[in-house]
Amino acid sequence: MKNIRVNKTALVVLLLFFGTAAFPFRLIGAQPMDATIDAPASPTDDPDPRNQTSIAVSAANDQIIVGASKVIVGGASTTGATRVAHYFSSDGGRTWASSLLALDTPRKMWQRATDPSVVSDMDGNFYLAALMFDTSSFDTGVYVFKSTDGGRTFTDPDPVVLDIGSPPTDPIRAEKCYITIDRSPSSPFKNTIYAVWMSNDRNEQGTNRVRILMSHRRPGEFGFSTPKVLSHAGDMRGPSLATGPGGEFYAVWEGIGSPRVLLFNASTDGGETFLPVEVAPSIDLNIYRFTGSLSQPSPTILISGVQRMNSFPVIDVDRSTGPNRGMIYVAWAEAVNRADADVFVMRLTPPNGMHPQISNPVRVNSDPPGADQFFPWLSVDETDGSVEAAFYDRRDDIGGLMMNMYLARSTDGGSSFPVNTRVSATASDPRIQSNVFGSVIGIGDHIALDAARGKAHLLWADTRRGRQEIFYGQIPFTDSGGGGGVPLNDSCQTPRVIDTLTYLDNLNTLLATSSPDDPVLCAGNQGTHSVWYRFTPAVETVYGIDSFTSDFDTTVSVYTGACGALTQIACDDDSGPGLSSLLTFAARAGQTYLIEAAGKGSGGMLRLRLGAPTITSVEYTSAPDGSKALKIQGAGFAENNTRATIRVGSDDLDLPTIFYTGDRQGDGTVTTIFATRKKLKKKVKSGRTVIVTVESPPGQNSLSIPFSFTRP
């Protein structure tokens, strides 16, 4: 079947729209690939300052990424009108849209929201936690919202904890909430949501205290559990949490006192019981004593130009199948040398009800002394156990105030971090700060990082353009994904079987080989680093295949027959955006097809998808009813269950009227649709480029590659 290729002009426009890495990187140590993305995630025309970020990559489809931040609605004023914004991308972080989290809940309409955190469950649903509060009544509540549409909307607010109606002189205030979700397939508590927060109240003697509390919600349960206390009473701040490969629960936070310490607690029964008294006599376990502090009161050192500073720790666990499976990692910032701040990581063995073994701290930033590094975030890649830490860094402006976003990476279980990569192309000035309640709070309390399938995804507050925006960065690594070994489907004789659709594979092909009997491809030669798949459809239909967001030049081919004597059915080299492949082929029920994905001189991180809706061409024409429409051709458009959208500038617009034409396939799909809306002619003007996507069925993570179309 002939594949319809994207015209080269549209391809150039698409690449410009998505952006490329056009700036040099400072690399220290081993070799990551160039950053693919460094671009704003928040609206470029919105002056409202933003900070306090969180980010999560879908566990079901790594092209779907959701972020969140606080936003000061109305600009940098003294009103303190804080809201939570959420950002969503369906093309691997290349383009973003955003919305604001609603303030209305079944119990009340709240005045403000802050402290967002976002996670994905094993099925690709997203959950967003936020602290809701009123400045007049001092009511507070921690809520968790759910999204089933890739982060576009968040609904179903479920309260974790509420304090409504307490006397203003004696409120029970919640602060600094954060959530995670157990995504380990071997866990008896998988898909359980855990939440932690700071609880401010008074003891029986009327003395103020701050404790760390936690709650959980199992799959199928309605509502969160009764909160449990993780810490002893005192001044506890900045809790972080994570789960282990066997369903273990861990949390860490900072205890403010003399001395300042990092405190820890753990559970092996899903958050029902915690460390025994013989291990943690004061409820929690002291795992580290600060020798240099970054936070008030009476800090040892302040970060110049940053109004509010902290040493809040971040925790994560190795859930991979690698040699460090189960290892716990904690990151924080500290001024050990009393001259500048550095980022440190230490590791703990799983306590399993006993005292964990605690390593000495390892310095993460690889620069000489003299520059500050602060606000770290930590994430462990579940595919290979790589430990990654992101942080603000001033090494490029020694003695100055300008800062960049950096990423450090360890592939030896946190023993060393030789790779320090600059992520941001342009430095930021932290003195461009936001106000809440008349106080300058600066760039927030933290940044965000999610290491997933060989890529680091970062979200942070950035001021390079004179205002406080949210920027997204992505770094792919050449030796990540699947442990880096020779793929099991390296040979035509040992293909990976595709038995469910939509099928998505993320595979490191750097060590894949080529066989003498590999066929010649449509690129004109034999491919390199080839891997193979076998697929036998149950129905007769047209299928789409793409390698979009693979980080190397791919060619994808479809064959029938036996290895060494194959008949090519379809082949594509560069029809997708960049150097990716995209094709459709008509398949017969019961016929076995072999699919080859190969490189052109190199391998890398392959992302292969089969069975998703696929756009091969777009035309501005007339619909069957005579109205102006976009004629979209390809595969996988489910009749009466397809959503078509166009991006015009920064706006996503639905095309709600769809006519389904073309041959009806055995799975109920068609190959051609006409999609339109009112005043389409004004939106898709002659000479204007729009980005067309199709989702079929909507809400099921079945989104086409964005197709760049320029109306003649």
The domain that holds 563 is classified in CATH as: 2.60.120.380
Give the SS3 label for residue 9. Answer: helix
189 in a structural domain = yes
Q: Exposed, middle or buried: residue 34 (CB in 10 Å: 0-12, 13-18, 19+)?
A: middle
Nearest to 263 by CA among 230, 299, 215: 230
| Domain endpoint, select from 610, 636, 668 | 610
Domain that holds residue 217: 32-476
Torsion of CA 204, 210, 211, 212, to 10 degrees: 150
d(CA 572, CA 2): 10
Looking at the fold, whether 159 and 250 belong to one and the same domain comes out as: yes
**Residues linked to residue 243 through DSSP beta bridges, in sequence order:** 249
51 in a structural domain = yes
Looking at the fold, whether 468 and 545 belong to one and the same domain comes out as: no
Amino acid 541 reads T
Cβ-Cβ contacts under 8 Å for 298 (sequence gap 6 or more):
none
Q: Phi and psi for 104 in degrees, rounded to 5?
A: -85, 135
Residue 215 to residues 197, 226, 268, 593, 668, Cα–Cα distance (Å): 9, 6, 15, 49, 44
Q: What pLDDT does residue 5 have?
A: 33
Looking at the fold, whether 639 and 602 belong to one and the same domain comes out as: no
d(CA 334, CA 295): 9
46 in a structural domain = yes
Assigned token pair, 7:
């015209």
d(CA 55, CA 255): 26
Cβ-Cβ contacts under 8 Å for 336 (sequence gap 6 or more):
291, 292, 342, 344
Looking at the fold, whether 278 and 419 belong to one and the same domain comes out as: yes
14 in a structural domain = no
Looking at the fold, whether 469 and 489 belong to one and the same domain comes out as: no
d(CA 17, CA 709): 12
Looking at the fold, whether 175 and 234 belong to one and the same domain comes out as: yes
15 in a structural domain = no
**Residues linked to residue 597 through DSSP beta bridges, in sequence order:** 531, 556
132 in a structural domain = yes
115-142 burial, b at 16+ Cβ within 10 Å, e below that, comes to: bbbbbbbbebbbbbbbbbbeeebbbbbb
DSSP string of 327-377, one letter each residue: -EEEEEEE-TTSSS-EEEEEEE---TTSPPPBPPPEE---SPTTS-EEEEE
Nearest to 72 by CA among 49, 99, 43: 49
At 652, which CATH number? 2.60.40
Residue 515 to residues 498, 506, 511, 524, 535, Cα–Cα distance (Å): 22, 22, 13, 16, 21
Q: What pLDDT does residue 3 have?
A: 32
| Domain endpoint, select from 411, 441, 476 | 476
Its pTM stands at 0.67
| Domain endpoint, select from 424, 458, 476 | 476
Give the SS3 label for residue 17. Answer: helix
Looking at the fold, whether 551 and 414 belong to one and the same domain comes out as: no
Q: What pLDDT does residue 568 have?
A: 92
Looking at the fold, whether 443 and 489 belong to one and the same domain comes out as: no
- Residue pair 443/459 in contact by the 8 Å Cβ criterion: no
Looking at the fold, whether 586 and 657 belong to one and the same domain comes out as: no
Residue 459 to residues 21, 47, 548, 643, Cα–Cα distance (Å): 17, 18, 22, 29
Looking at the fold, whether 626 and 577 belong to one and the same domain comes out as: no
DSSP string of 583-628, one letter each residue: EEEEE-TT--EEEEEEESS---EEEEEESS-EEEEEEEEE-TTS-E
- Residue pair 595/570 in contact by the 8 Å Cβ criterion: no
Assigned token pair, 451:
């290491």
Tell how far CA 27 is from the center of its chain. Answer: 23
Looking at the structure of the chain, the number of domains it has is 3
**Residues linked to residue 313 through DSSP beta bridges, in sequence order:** none
**Which segments in the chain show pLDDT lower than 50?**
1-35, 77-78, 478-484
Nearest to 163 by CA among 143, 138, 196: 138
Amino acid 455 reads K
Torsion of CA 632, 637, 640, 644, to 10 degrees: -50
Residue 220 to residues 174, 192, 223, 484, Cα–Cα distance (Å): 26, 10, 9, 37
Q: Exposed, middle or buried: residue 357 (CB in 10 Å: 0-12, 13-18, 19+)?
A: exposed
Cβ-Cβ contacts under 8 Å for 25 (sequence gap 6 or more):
34, 35, 421, 422
Q: What pLDDT does residue 617 have?
A: 92
248 in a structural domain = yes
Assigned token pair, 326:
């189960």
Looking at the fold, whether 226 and 360 belong to one and the same domain comes out as: yes
Q: Phi and psi for 696 in degrees, rounded to 5?
A: -155, 115
Torsion of CA 137, 142, 143, 144, to 10 degrees: 170
- Residue pair 417/392 in contact by the 8 Å Cβ criterion: no
At 386, which CATH number? 2.120.10.10
Looking at the fold, whether 576 and 624 belong to one and the same domain comes out as: no
Residue 576 to residues 14, 523, 555, 569, Cα–Cα distance (Å): 10, 14, 10, 18
6 in a structural domain = no
Number of helical (H) and strand (E) elements in the chain, helices listed first: 2, 48
